[in-house]
Amino acid sequence: MKPSSRIDIETLLNHSKTERAIADINKETIERRAFLPKKCKVFSERFTVLQDQPEYRFTIDQEAEKVLPGIIDNRVQKIVPGTQADEQELYFKKRNIGIVFSGGPAPGGHNVIAGIFDAAKTANPDSRIYGFILGPEGILENAYVEITESLVDAYRNLGGFTMIKTGRTKIDSRKKMDLSRATCKALNLDALMIVGGDDSNTNAAFLAQELKADGIQVIGIPKTIDGDIQVKTEDGEVLCAISFGFHTAARAFAQNISNLCTDAGSDIKYWHICKVMGRVASHLALETTLQTHANLTLIGEDLADYVDQDRLREAEKRGEIDYTAYGMTLRHLSRLICDTIVKRAACGKNYGVMIIPEGVLEFINEIQIFIIKLSTIIAEFNEVHDVDFHASFPSLDARLDYLRRLARGISDREASPMWNLRDDELFNDLPSFFQEGLLVERDTHGNFQFSQVKTEKIVMDMVTDYLDILREKGLYKVGINADAYRTAMEREGLDAGAFGGAIFKNYGSADYLLVKETIISLKTLTQAVVGAGLIEEGQALPEVVVDIFKKSVPKFKTQTHFYGYDGRGSDPTKFDCNYTYNLGLTAFSLIANGATGQMAVIKNLEHKFCKWEPLGIPISSLMHLEERKGKLALVIEKSIVDVNSNAFRVVTALRQKWMAAEPGEDCYRRPGPVRFTGISEEDRPITLMLNSI
The contact set with ligand FBP (CB under 6 A) reads 103-104, 106, 197, 224-226, 277-279, 358, 450-451, 564, 568
C-alpha 60: how far from its chain's center?
Answer: 28
Task: Evaluate whether 586 touches 244 at the Cβ level (below 8 Å).
Answer: no
The secondary structure of 193-220 as a DSSP string is EEEE-HHHHHHHHHHHHHHGGGT-EEEE
CB 74 to ligand FBP: min, Å: 24
Q: Which is nearer to ligand FBP, 210 or 226 (CB)?
A: 226
Question: Any idea how long the chain is?
Answer: 693
Instruction: Choose among 306, 253, 328: nearest CA to 283.
Output: 253
Q: Which is nearer to ligand FBP, 210 or 362 (CB)?
A: 362
Q: Which is nearer to ligand FBP, 571 or 613 (CB)?
A: 571
CB 375 to ligand FBP: min, Å: 15
Q: Which is nearer to ligand FBP, 172 or 662 (CB)?
A: 172
Q: Which is nearer to ligand FBP, 447 or 620 (CB)?
A: 447
Provide the β-strand partners of residue 275.
356, 562
Strand ranges in 337-421 using DSSP code E only, listed in sequence order? 352-357
Task: Evaluate whether 651 touches 299 at the Cβ level (below 8 Å).
Answer: yes
CB 683 to ligand FBP: min, Å: 23
CB 170 to ligand FBP: min, Å: 11
Task: Evaluate whether 630 touches 379 at the Cβ level (below 8 Å).
Answer: yes
Instruction: Choose among 521, 520, 523, 518: nearest CA to 538.
Output: 523
- Determine the 3-state secondary structure of 665 from DSSP: coil
- Determine the 3-state secondary structure of 439 from DSSP: coil
Q: Torsion angle of alpha carbons 488, 490, 492, 497, nearest 10°? A: 90
CB 133 to ligand FBP: min, Å: 17
Name, in order, each residue with C-beta under 8 angstroms of 488's C-beta and a sequence gap of 6 or more: 544, 547, 548
Task: Evaluate whether 58 touches 621 at the Cβ level (below 8 Å).
Answer: yes
Q: What CA–CA distance (Å, rounded) separates 80 from 425?
A: 62
Q: Which is nearer to ligand FBP, 105 or 618 (CB)?
A: 105
Q: Which is nearer to ligand FBP, 454 or 669 (CB)?
A: 454
Task: Evaluate whether 515 touches 529 at the Cβ level (below 8 Å).
Answer: no
Provide the β-strand partners of residue 600.
616
Task: Evaluate whether 349 touches 341 at the Cβ level (below 8 Å).
Answer: no
- Residue 6 CB neighbour total at 10 angstroms: 9
Q: Which is nearer to ligand FBP, 222 or 352 (CB)?
A: 222
Task: Evaluate whether 477 touches 346 at the Cβ level (below 8 Å).
Answer: yes
Give buried/exposed letters for 183-220 (b at 16+ CB in 10 A, else e): bbeebebbbbbbbbbbbbbbbbbbbbbbbbeeebbbbb
- Determine the 3-state secondary structure of 601 from DSSP: strand
Torsion over CA: 17, 19, 21, 26 (sign): negative
Which residue lies nearest ligand FBP, judged by its C-beta? Answer: 103
Q: What CA–CA distance (Å, rounded) separates 258 from 589?
A: 41
Name, in order, each residue with C-beta under 8 angstroms of 34's C-beta and a sequence gap of 6 or more: 156
Q: Which is nearer to ligand FBP, 119 or 204 (CB)?
A: 204
Task: Evaluate whether 212 touches 619 at the Cβ level (below 8 Å).
Answer: no
Q: Which is nearer to ligand FBP, 131 or 564 (CB)?
A: 564
- Determine the 3-state secondary structure of 431 from DSSP: coil
Q: Which is nearer to ligand FBP, 226 or 613 (CB)?
A: 226
Q: Which is nearer to ligand FBP, 104 or 479 (CB)?
A: 104
Q: Which is nearer to ligand FBP, 217 or 297 (CB)?
A: 297
Task: Evaluate whether 579 touches 265 at the Cβ level (below 8 Å).
Answer: no
Q: Which is nearer to ligand FBP, 197 or 479 (CB)?
A: 197
The secondary structure of 468-491 as a DSSP string is HHHHHTT---PPEEHHHHHHHHHH
CB 578 to ligand FBP: min, Å: 20
* Distances, alpha carbon 467 to alpha carbons 295, 412, 470, 472, 473, in Å: 18, 46, 5, 9, 10
Task: Evaluate whether 489 touches 496 at the Cβ level (below 8 Å).
Answer: yes
CB 388 to ligand FBP: min, Å: 17
CB 448 to ligand FBP: min, Å: 9
Q: Which is nearer to ligand FBP, 162 or 481 (CB)?
A: 162
CB 449 to ligand FBP: min, Å: 6
Q: What CA–CA distance (Å, rounded) separates 112 from 116?
A: 6
